[in-house]
């Protein structure tokens, strides 16, 4: 199939009332797991790379490999800069062949977030790519600020983004207490933006039953990073312990952790498509 823009696959998902998984790759194996899971589930997928890797050369070097994996996958794959911090990262991603960028201005005052995100969306559209923005703020190591539906509508109109990340009760990373999503707020945002694919960040540890309540309300992209990458690391640790010091060539050793990740992602893809 082809490497595609995020808009192409997310608009279709929103129309169908389902969501697609957006998973953070950090190396060859995690990237392979993402495209293999998409292939086995016959589902489009978003392969994304976190902004930190745009500051240390990894996103550029990995970019060529990710494009090749995406092009060889029989399913549609979008390649996305996750949590872009500035326009330099956006320009770099577009130059390196990423088909989608996020500019995360969610910690800025409204007007500054609009101005920066609008520039990112313009750059993306000039490169025939698509852009995600965020209004409200999903906490990282800071405070959550839930999204106001009217502000979300205005933000989308003023910036021209193709997908909009909203804050409805999730946080990034593992939870300290079980989260409860603000379903009513999500419904209002979905009604204010009936054609906009909404994005749920902080997929890790959010109960699937809660996630499945907001998908029909407009959530079309669900980001999962921590639990997926931890699945890889835990499998590596278990297999190293089982090898008990015996040398196994790295290419062979990595097959089992990759397979564990594929199984994990397949379950998420099915759940987000409301298949189980
Ligand atoms: P988690 O690490 O909580 O899954 O969040 C991922 C995310 O939102 C990436 O943008």
182 catalytic residue (yes or no): no
Ligand 1 atom 9 nearest Cα: 223
Neighbours of 244 (CB within 10 A): 6
With 80 as the cut, is the pLDDT of residue 1 above it?
no
Residue 197's φ and ψ, nearest 5 degrees, are: -65, 125
Q: Specify the ligand 1 atom closest to the Cα of 24.
A: 9
Buried b (16+ CB within 10 A) or exposed e, 56-81: eeebbebbeebbebbeebebbbbbbb
CA of residue 227 to ligand 1 center, whole Å: 9
4, 99 Cβ separation under 8 angstroms? yes
What is the C-alpha to C-alpha distance for residues 119 and 128, in angstroms, rounded to an integer?
14
Mean pLDDT to the nearest integer, 159-163: 98
Q: Specify the ligand 1 atom closest to the Cα of 228.
A: 4
What is the model's pLDDT at position 141? 77
> Which alpha helices (H) appear in 17-139, and where do they start and end?
28-41, 58-72, 87-95, 110-126
Mean pLDDT to the nearest integer, 144-153: 96
In the set 82, 148, 162, 182, the catalytic residue is 82
Residue list, ligand 1 pocket, CB within 6 Å: 24, 82-83, 172-173, 201-204, 223-227
Buried b (16+ CB within 10 A) or exposed e, 124-142: beebebbbbbbbbbbebee
Of all residues in the chain, the percent with pLDDT exceeding 90 is 95
């Amino acid at each position: 199939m082809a490497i595609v823009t995020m808009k192409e696959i997310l608009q279709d998902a929103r129309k169908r009332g389902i969501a697609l998984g957006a998973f953070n790759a950090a190396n060859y194996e995690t990237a392979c797991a993402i495209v293999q899971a998409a292939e086995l589930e016959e589902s489009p997928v978003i392969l994304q790379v976190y902004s930190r890797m745009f500051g240390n050369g990894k996103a550029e070097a990995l970019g060529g490999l990710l494009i090749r994996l995406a092009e060889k996958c029989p399913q549609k794959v979008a390649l996305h800069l996750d949590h872009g911090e500035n326009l330099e990262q956006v320009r770099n991603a577009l130059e390196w062949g990423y088909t989608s960028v996020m500019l995360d201005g969610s910690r800025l005052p409204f007007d500054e977030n609009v101005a920066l995100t609008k520039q990112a969306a313009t750059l993306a559209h000039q490169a025939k790519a698509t852009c995600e923005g965020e209004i409200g703020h999903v906490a990282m190591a800071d405070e959550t600020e839930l999204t106001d539906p009217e502000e979300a509508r205005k933000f989308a109109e003023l910036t021209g983004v193709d997908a909009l990340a909203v804050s409805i009760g999730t946080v990034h990373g593992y939870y300290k207490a079980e989260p409860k999503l603000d379903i009513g707020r999500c419904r209002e945002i979905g009604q204010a933006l009936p054609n906009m694919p909404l994005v749920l960040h902080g997929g890790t540890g959010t109960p699937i039953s809660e996630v499945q309540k907001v998908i029909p309300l407009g959530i079309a992209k669900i980001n999962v990073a921590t639990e997926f990458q931890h699945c890889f690391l835990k499998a590596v640790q278990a297999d190293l312990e089982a090898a008990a010091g015996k040398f196994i060539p790295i290419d062979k050793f990595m097959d089992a952790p990759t397979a564990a990740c594929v199984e994990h992602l397949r379950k998420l893809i099915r759940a987000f498509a409301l298949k189980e």
